[in-house]
Amino acid sequence: MGFFDKLKKGLSKTREMMSDGINRVFASMGRVDEDMMEELFDALISADVGMDTTDKILDKLRASIKENKIIDPAEAKDQLIRIIAEMIDPADAGLKLNSKPAVIFVIGVNGVGKTTSIGKMANNYRSAGKKVVVAAADTFRAAAIDQLQVWTDRAGVDLIKQQEGADPSAVLFDAINAAKSRSADILIVDTAGRLHTKKNLMEELNKMNRVLRRELPDADINTLIALDATTGQNGISQAKVFSEGCPIDGIILTKLDGTAKGGVVISIKDELGIPVRLVGVGEGIDDLLVFEPQEFVSAIFND
């Protein structure tokens, strides 16, 4: 299955909710008017685009309709698709992976698919010819290390670990040294989603960041947050909490194949200013895809 077909299949539930709903609006409306806008509002909200983002989309659509003197609903639909595509375009070159090693620091609450996404990501880079080392620095969640071991074994990459309950920064320190000695291209760091102690999670993440900066002062460091697409707008709340403690460079949106709430992709970028970098569209090891805004829009709206 090709990239586009895999993305389209993974987005089938979102496609049914968003595309079918929007298509019904444009097919049933004989003209462009506020009744059409109200119907579009309902369709976008149903796909979990979010209230504020939906209002922005429709305001942009109204302005475009007025500026271009659009009276044909089909033309209005084309403008809507263009507006959505522009809103989710990250307008940058993606992850910074020029240093050796480059670092991908993965954060997020427990249960969102963080660990499995790391395994899939490691597989993607290894398949592209990169030498990958993974740090099992989520030492507080029971079985997290074992789970990551399974995924890194499947991906064929090295895992640096200690015993459960070990200091995450100590694990990271070992992984940095291993990445250096093994001439790794990429170091991927798993982190805790919560701690079993009273110690603040953000303090722990900041401590790890300091170790990274000290030991790899010239490295490209990318911080990605894993969010579960099935939680919709709740994922945005999670990202806001984490972004208060550390800057986030991008989002791994997991379980996109299991939800009709894929419209959250749009509101994530709009409300947080953080681009979606990777999307999970299945349970297979090769089902983590680089997010391409134009492909996303095409997979939803095109037959």
Give the model confidence (pLDDT) of 143-179 as tens digits.
Answer: 899 999 999 999 999 999 999 999 999 999 999 999 9
> Are residues 191 and 61 part of one domain?
no
CA angle 68, 70, 75 (to 5 degrees): 105
| Residue 51 in this model has a pLDDT that exceeds 70 | yes
β-bridge partners, 140: none
214-263 residue pLDDT tens: 999 999 999 999 998 888 778 888 888 888 778 899 999 998 877 666 77
- The amino acid that residue 45 corresponds to is I
Q: Which residue has the higher pLDDT, 292 or 13?
A: 292
* Helix axis angle, 264-272 to 73-88, nearest 10°: 50
One DSSP character per residue, 107-164 reads: E--TTSSHHHHHHHHHHHHHHTT--EEEEE---SSTTHHHHHHHHHHHHT-EEE---T
In a domain, 84, yes or no: yes
Distance between CA atoms of residues 139 and 202, nearest Å = 15
In a domain, 95, yes or no: no
> Are residues 155 and 30 part of one domain?
no
Domain count across the chain: 2
Domain CATH number, residue 242 = 3.40.50.300
* Domain endpoint, select from 61, 88, 115: 88
The whole-angstrom distance between residue 168's C-alpha and the CA centroid of its chain comes to 24
What pLDDT score was predicted for residue 198? 46
> Could you tell me what percent of the chain has a pLDDT over 90?
50
Question: Mean pLDDT highest for which of 73-77, 99-103, 112-116?
Answer: 99-103
DSSP H or E stretch at residue 277: strand 276-280
Domain CATH number, residue 55 = 1.20.120.140
Averaged pLDDT for residues 29-43: 89
> Are residues 271 and 162 part of one domain?
yes
In a domain, 25, yes or no: yes
Burial pattern 152-165, b for ≥16 Cβ within 10 A else e, equals beebebbbbbbeee
> Are residues 130 and 59 part of one domain?
no
Question: What domain range is 145 assigned to?
Answer: 102-301
> Are residues 216 and 140 part of one domain?
yes
